[in-house]
Amino acid sequence: MQLSSLHGAWLVVRRTSFCAFACTLGGMESERRARAAVYARVSQDRAEGRSVSEQEAESRRACANNGWAVAAVYADNDVSASRFTTKRRADWTRLVSDLDSGMFDVLVLWEPSRGSRDLVTWAALLDVCRRQKVLLHVTSHGRTYDPGNPRDWRTLADDGVDSAYESEKQSQRITRAMAANAKAGRPHGRVPYGYVRSYDPATKAFVGQEPDPETAAVVREIIGRVGRAEPVIAVSRDLNARGVRPPAARQWSRQHVRRIALNPSYAGLRLYAGESYEGTWPALVDAAEFYAAKRLLEDPARRKTKPGRNKYLLSYIARCGVCDEQLQAAPRGRAVPSYFCAGGHVQAGVAWLDALIEGVVLARLDDGELLARLTVADDEQAVAARAKIGELRERLAEWRDAAANGKASPASLAHIETNLLADIEVEERKVQRAGAPAALVDLLGADVIADRWRTLQVAQRREVVKVLGMAITLNRANASGRHAAGAYDRVAVEWPQP
């Protein structure tokens, strides 16, 4: 009996130890399967409730209450999750990859919209969680969902639809507000260099945009110089040499100068969806100055220019009388610059041909009626085009109002809108092309044209030659050697018909 009692006691100890060991294994298994990933996000507008830190804190409390171990925290701050965003969510990408690799058992979100407001992205997340058997806990719901359960999956999918729907409505509201602000001519975005904005001290509401006393003059100088065909690199170097500070940079670059010269805000214009509207702020330059600079910078020939091809007055302007190819220019022989065609048909010294053509240009500019012929017609065209633009915009507004009030079908509006916008674009191009280049206007306004011509840079002189429309042809010389240099009959100049 005593031995039997000892044996029974030993069995009890063995059984107890085994149960304890089994419980330990079960606890380890339970802890392994309770690996939680916490994700927090807030959009750029900061109007979506809790901050990232607040979302994380609540999610951690939910994990503690459910006995889950927080294995990793992912956060994207100031990033939208709608389909309209242009910024990448780095932590979201890492989270989905880690979920798909089986690293977690539970994903904890403050609410479904923190995960995504894009229906496709949200559906992809649910698919990953369902495939990897990951539970999804929504802190604001106080509930844990199993995407593998059809009813839970449907609930989560409906939440994704709601989030996407709210995003679409918000986008539509923003689009309508931006369109209304554009038509009203209100400024938008960052304050342009050259302006300052004022706000009501009590309500913080926007009051107005006015020229900045320190930088507005710099903007006027840049647009004026670019419109006079000064090289952009020369303008930027001069500003740097004078110690003028650029916007948000240490030194001026060509990109800085180009951005300012092409910004319609400085002409008092607000662009939106391909349409321009009169702004409520004072312009720093008039429309003629702005479009003169814009026309030069957006000239297709300028974008195709190779380095150095504008170093000489007539390079890629004058043509060969044999093959009709544009003449190039470069130092040849004893480093004396010459014009020549690629086929080797003609050649002439740069100094000789330039002097000849400059004399012809100056004689042409001595015509007192030239400026009137070049500018008056263009001014009339610009005025007519601006009037036409106003008329077309009024018609477009009437059609849009009719569609909004149910008096016109969406299909009719789409058809009319497409045609009217195309007509507006045509008239706007007429305005941009109107007006003679500023370099030519200044030249013709000088007391002594020859003296002003000598002050112009090569790029400015080239613009004058091009706007005059003269066709310059260099033919083969009948003589050779130094006798060919004085053969003025080699050069033919034709003027466009008035």
Q: What is the mean pLDDT of each run of 10 residues along the chain (498 residues)?
A: 44 41 44 81 62 91 94 88 78 93 94 88 94 95 95 94 87 79 83 93 90 95 89 92 91 93 92 79 88 80 53 90 90 77 89 92 78 55 73 81 79 80 77 62 74 86 85 83 62 83
Q: Quick one: residue 142, left, alpha or beta (phi over 0 = left, psi -120 to 50 = alpha)?
A: left
Q: Tell me which CATH code domain 26-170 carries.
A: 3.40.50.1390
Which DSSP string corresponds to 264-277?
A: GGGGTEEEETTEEE
- Pairwise CA distance, residues 186 & 208, whole Å: 9
- Pairwise CA distance, residues 496 & 201, whole Å: 60
Q: How many CB atoms lie within 10 A of CB 317?
A: 19
Alpha helix segments (H runs only) across 101-248: 112-115, 119-132, 150-183, 216-227, 232-241
Stretch(es) of the chain classified as CATH 3.90.1750.20: 184-192+207-299
- What's the pLDDT score for residue 297? 85
Q: Tell me which CATH code domain 184-192+207-299 carries.
A: 3.90.1750.20
- Pairwise CA distance, residues 213 & 411, whole Å: 50
- Pairwise CA distance, residues 113 & 55, whole Å: 12
Q: Are 291 and 432 in contact (CB under 8 A)?
A: yes
Stretch(es) of the chain classified as CATH 3.40.50.1390: 26-170
The 3-state DSSP class for residue 481 equals coil
Sequence-distant (≥ 6) Cβ neighbours of residue 367 within 8 angstroms? none
- What's the pLDDT score for residue 27? 47
- What's the pLDDT score for residue 231? 85
Helix (H) / strand (E) element for 79: namely: none
Q: What is the DSSP letter of 490?
A: G
- Pairwise CA distance, residues 218 & 475, whole Å: 46
Q: What is the DSSP letter of 487?
A: -
Quickly count helices (H) and strands (E) in the chain: 18, 15
Q: What is the DSSP letter of 340?
A: E
The 3-state DSSP class for residue 402 equals helix
Query: How is residue 417 written in tokens?
Result: 């809108």
b/e map of 481-490 (b: 16 or more CB within 10 Å)?
Answer: eeebeebeeb
- Pairwise CA distance, residues 153 & 133, whole Å: 12
pTM above threshold 0.75: no
- Pairwise CA distance, residues 412 & 83, whole Å: 29
